[in-house]
Amino acid sequence: MHTSSAVSRKHLVAALTLGSVAVLMVGLQPLLLGELLAAGRLSLEGVGLVAMGEIVALGAGVIVGDLLRSMMNLRFITIVAAVFTAALDLMTTTATGDTGLIVVRALAGLTEGLLLWGAVSLIVQGPHPDRVSGLFMVVQTLAQGVIAAVLAFWVLPRQSVSGGFVLLAMISLASVLLVCWQPVRLAPLSSGASQEGGFSWQRSHLLLLAAVFIQLSAIGALWAYMEPLGKYAGLDAQGAQAMISAALFMQVLGGCCGILLVRRVSEFKLLATAAVLLGGIAVGMYLSVGQGAKAFMLLSGFFSLVYLMLTPFQVRIALSLDPSGRVAVLIPGMQLLGCAFGPLVASQWVVGDYVQPVALVSVGFSLLAFILLCWLRRTSVIEEGGFDGKVVLIVGASSGMGRGLALRLAQEGAVVVATARRQEQLNELRREILGQGGKCLVRAADALNEQAAADLVAEVVALYGHLDVVVLNAGGAPALDMRRMNPGQVTAYMRSNYDVAVNYLFPALEQMRVQRNGLIVQTNSLAGFIGVPLQGPYCAAKGALRLLIDTCRIEFGGYGIRFLSLYPGFVATAQTANDGMPAPLELSEVDAVSHMLKAMRGKRWDYLFPWSIGWIVRLARVLPKPLLLWVLRRELPPLPEDVRVVSTHLQTSGKRP
């Protein structure tokens, strides 16, 4: 018995072919549904409903196939699905009216989903599933383009729309011959990768799936109504059919471009640019009435080019967010649901023969997709090779978050250079890292000593030849009431939070300018955004560092240096345990370090955590100043001498305190 534990090239050929047959109708919907509309067998409002029903049922068929995995063998499921798909295609030749066509095509979608499930299962369990999946997208679209050309130039002019569905039925029946190239049963799904490290849903996972769903809704709304829109723009029936065929071939070209560009272009930039382009194309289609058919055909070509280019980038982000692949597996499902949802929404705006509002629906979806992508960009965690082999200098590594970060980075394969003032704690850190098999160099130095900082950076470069990451984590202050401080004390505390960062920042920047890459991580504070009670010098220093790093982004960004500012809220460390400060929504050191790593792996500029305190600070910055001051003053304890003065005043005035 053959199993998919050793998926052969013959198995993959069968999977690619059967999968392409399964989704054939999805690509031919604009052509065949348009013909049903022209023949009076389907209303304009029903076009979107039929398209949505078949695509949703296709997704449901995939779920049904997975449920049948342990009960039936793959070959039997394939034969039944192919035969029933052919029968339902033949039934479509006689079906009339919105209701009848919705039922028949939904049932066809269910059986097509079974075929698709078998194909995708083989691809996932075979060698190089990512590359084969990309190839599958191109092959299926190429097949759709070939069949669309045959329909447009040969079948439909001679046999009408019924001939088109007869051709689909013949193709489905012929695919049964490939069953002998399938394994009899599928092997159980491997659980090692998906469960390694324990999968848990994150906000970024949901944002990605939502962005994919909405972006494909924008595409689906236009694609399902492409032929009616083309006719509305001035194309005759045969011209609209030819446009659909050409569009499918442009999708193939777009898919090939996506495969070539996926490792050369930022995935977020491309997807965001695509959202803007799709919105602009939809606007152009809306305005193309009266501008001639050529303008509409040109726009449809650009639309199709962008369409299939998206998938490799969406999958790349999914695998970066979740290397186990559990999120990536859901991408095709979200694409199908989006392709169904778009036409459904668009159908609500169609009135009689007036289809122009469909383009505006697509514009709205594109705008929403752009917003979701920007949000995802700010919250996602994208791996860029990890920290394995990176030389990381951590300033303030003897305790607290700096120490926790050093341990985590060493576990990930980084060469950790830890510095702080306390040699004994640094030695203990080094012993722990070496005991875990990591690499660590420790040097005791006073971060307030400019020359000592420069010498340490030079030593690191001399030893390792480069410096990849610098974490400026030194600083901190107890509760400080400026009503009891003099200028010298204020300046000293500001230096202990500002100079300790600057002294390491600029030697590191000189080296990173030479090597033209690097990451500067500065541990700031949410107190760097607003003044808070008992933290005046600390807030001033952190605010100054915030602006300094912003300016560095301008002046050093051209050298390939990335700057990340971390803004933690209250973190429970040994230093903060008895500092006299209130600590609402306090984080543990472990959670804080996880947030730091998340931001360092991403492509952010500023990272505020936890999100609850972050949003409180954002709100505080837009509150009217009198209101903000009133709230903060309530947290300021009175001075003992002020209490005595008030008590004396009340007694002399005859009032009770």
Tens of pLDDT, residue by residue over 142-163, are: 788 788 888 888 888 888 888 9
Residue 188 has pLDDT above 50, yes or no: yes
Per CATH, the number for 201-382 is 1.20.1250.20
| Per-residue model confidence (pLDDT) at position 200 | 67
Residue 125 has pLDDT above 70, yes or no: no
| Per-residue model confidence (pLDDT) at position 197 | 40
Average pLDDT over all residues of the chain = 81
Contact 506, 431 (CB under 8 A): no
Q: What is the pTM assigned to this prediction?
A: 0.53
Q: Which residue has the higher pLDDT, 261 or 167?
A: 167
Q: Which of the four pLDDT bands, split at 50, 70 and 90, describes residue 203?
A: confident
| Per-residue model confidence (pLDDT) at position 657 | 44
Residue 128 has pLDDT above 80, yes or no: no
Q: Which of the four pLDDT bands, split at 50, 70 and 90, describes residue 549?
A: very high
439-444: strand order across its sheet? 439-444, 415-420, 391-395, 469-472, 518-523, 561-568, 606-609
Q: What is the pLDDT of residues 54-100, one digit of tens each?
A: 888 887 887 787 777 667 788 899 999 999 999 999 999 988 888 89
Between CA 9 and CA 617 the distance in angstroms is 57
Q: Which residue has the higher pLDDT, 350 or 232?
A: 350
The helix, strand and coil proportions of the chain, stated in percent and rounded to the nearest 5, come to 70, 5, 25
Q: Which of the four pLDDT bands, split at 50, 70 and 90, describes residue 539?
A: confident
Residue 190 has pLDDT above 60, yes or no: no
**Portions of the chain given CATH number 1.20.1250.20:** 1-188, 201-382
Which of 225, 538, 567, 607 is catalytic? The answer is 538
Between CA 416 and CA 410 the distance in angstroms is 6
Least confident of 237-241, 247-251, 308-312, 374-378: 237-241
Least confident of 336-340, 350-354, 450-454: 350-354
In this structure, what token pair is assigned to residue 62?
A: 């995939």
Average pLDDT of span 256-280? 82
Average pLDDT of span 342-363? 83
| Per-residue model confidence (pLDDT) at position 192 | 37
Answer CATH for 1-188 from 3.30.420.40, 2.160.10.10, 3.40.50.1820, 1.20.1250.20:
1.20.1250.20
CA 275 to mean position of chain CA atoms? 14
Between CA 137 and CA 26 the distance in angstroms is 13
| Per-residue model confidence (pLDDT) at position 423 | 92
- Give whole-number Cα distances, 507 to 8, 407, 466, 562, in Å: 56, 24, 13, 15
| Per-residue model confidence (pLDDT) at position 193 | 37
Q: Which of the four pLDDT bands, split at 50, 70 and 90, describes residue 1?
A: very low
Q: Which of the four pLDDT bands, split at 50, 70 and 90, describes residue 351?
A: confident
- The domain defined by 391-622 folds into Rossmann fold (3.40.50)
Between CA 199 and CA 601 the distance in angstroms is 18
| Per-residue model confidence (pLDDT) at position 365 | 95
354 has catalytic annotation: no
Residue 310 has pLDDT above 80, yes or no: yes
Please provide the DSSP assignment of 477-533 as one string: ---B-GGG--HHHHHHHHHHHHHHHHHHHHHHHHHHHHHT-EEEEEE--GGGTS--T
Q: Which of the four pLDDT bands, split at 50, 70 and 90, describes residue 416?
A: very high
Q: Which of the four pLDDT bands, split at 50, 70 and 90, describes residue 369?
A: very high
| Per-residue model confidence (pLDDT) at position 652 | 53
Average pLDDT of span 500-524? 93
Residue 649 has pLDDT above 80, yes or no: no
| Closest by Cα among 542, 570, 556, 562 to 474 | 542
**Portions of the chain given CATH number 3.40.50.720:** 391-622
Average pLDDT of span 540-566? 90
